Structure 1
Amino acid sequence: MLKSRMLQWLIMILISITLITMAGFFLWNYLDEKSQPEDPSVAAAASVDGVKPKKLTADQMLEQTVEIADITTNLIGKDFVKISFAFELDSKKSKEEFEKLNTRVKAIIIQTLADLNAEQIRGSKGYDLISTSLLNKINPILTAGKLRQVDITSINIVLN
């Protein structure tokens, strides 16, 4: 009788330890997933979360768009790129601020492109990578509004 009670207690303790270990394992995995860096497209979507989508007329789009043309910079390796952008902002006020930050924006563009190679920027996936990276890096420096969209208007990759 004493042995059967001890056996029952031993089984309950082993089951408890197993359940606690499993709970700890699942909690560890959950927290580890939260600490992983976000996908650039997810981060881009989150950075424009506060911007309400609305249909803009062509005139409104023109009033809220800033073009930066012909930035030439080296890529990883010996290759270089000549690229132009159109940045669509959410208001005239944010456009004015963006224009004042022109040199800072150009520096961010050059820094972003310097971390890429020619293979990474080719094709629509490469263009999306550049656009979302710039969106994620430029939005934090804007205080008067948000950058809604980054369009690549021309790109020329020179391979050496």
Structure 2
Amino acid sequence: MKRMMPWMITLLLALTLIALVVIMMINTNGKGNAPGAQQVQTVRLSADEIVEMTSTMTDIKTNLADRNYIVLTGFAFQMDTKKTKEQFDKIKDVRIKPLILRTLADMKPEDLQGMKGQDQLCAKLLELINKQLPEGKVVQVDLTDFILSPI
């Protein structure tokens, strides 16, 4: 009996492992969603709706953390509703522009190099701006102009 014990334990572990793999395969071959998870449905907006819910800021100039570089940028901010756009337009010069200037002033030229750096800037601004809005949210931030130049 003592000689068969390791074989029985190995066989039992193998069967348990196979059973777990089968259960996981059955669960993932189903709907692919966890119970209670909601389906996210994307809504395509028309060009007119995009224009109605987008606000722009152009000619934002500031030095970067490396004072030998200056950046000239422009942004397009897409909101979730028209009302949010109205709220955004009211505060964009007093709240949003200073926030953008502070964010850029903390960045180095290397942080803004390439698409990855610019995407990180847009993601950071999206997060910071949504904290400033009284209601609604910004759903997308796009760079419309970008010039990085040494002084």
Do the structures match in fold with TM over 0.5? yes
CA distance in 1, matches of 2:65, 2:137: 30
Q: Which residues of structure 1 form unaligned runs of 5+? A: 1-50
Aligned to 1:129: 120
Secondary structure at the residue paired with 1:152?
strand
Distance 2:48 2:129 in 1: 24
Q: How does 1:10-21 map to 2 (within 5 A)?
A: none
- Corresponding residue of 2:20: none
Write out per-residue CA displacement over residues 70-96 of structure 1, whole angstroms, 9 at most, x where no aligned residue: 100000111010000000000000000
Task: Name the structure with the higher helix share.
Answer: 1
Instruction: Report the equivalent of 2:61.
Output: 72
TM-score scaled by length of structure 1 = 0.66
Identity %: 41
Alignment partners' CA distance in 1, 2:46 and 2:133 = 24
Structure-2 residue corresponding to 1:102: 92
1:82 aligns with 72
TM-score by length of 2: 0.70
User: SS of 2:148's equivalent?
Assistant: strand
| C-alpha separation in 1, matches of 2:42 and 2:63 | 35
Q: Partners in 1 of 2:61 and 2:45 — Cα distance?
A: 31
Residue 62 in structure 1 maps to residue 62 in structure 2: no
Deviations 1:19-63 (A, max 9, x none): xxxxxxxxxxxxxxxxxxxxxxxxxxxxxxxx9741100000000
- Which letter maps to 2:85? K
Q: How far apart are 1:141 and its partner, in Å?
A: 1.4
Letter in 1 for 2:136: G
Distance (Å, rounded) in 2 between the aligned partners of 1:62 and 1:107: 24
1:67, 1:86 within 8 Å by CA — same for their partners in 2?
yes
- Please state if 1:115 is matched with 2:113: no
Residues 97-141 of structure 1 show CA distances to partners (whole Å, capped at 9, x for unaligned) of 000111210001000000101111011111111101100100011
Q: 1:123 is aligned with what amino acid? A: G
Counterpart AA for 1:68: M
Q: 1:143: which partner in 2?
A: 134
Could you say what the CA RMSD is over the residues aligned between the two structures, in angstroms? Answer: 1.4
Q: How many residues align?
A: 110
Deviation at 1:143, TM superposition (A): 2.5
Q: Any runs of at least 4 consecutive aligned residues in structure 1 with deviations exceeding 4 A, and if so which?
A: none
Structure 2, unaligned runs of 5 or more: 1-39
**What is the match of residue 5 of structure 1?**
none
TM-superposed CA distance for 1:159, in Å, is 1.4
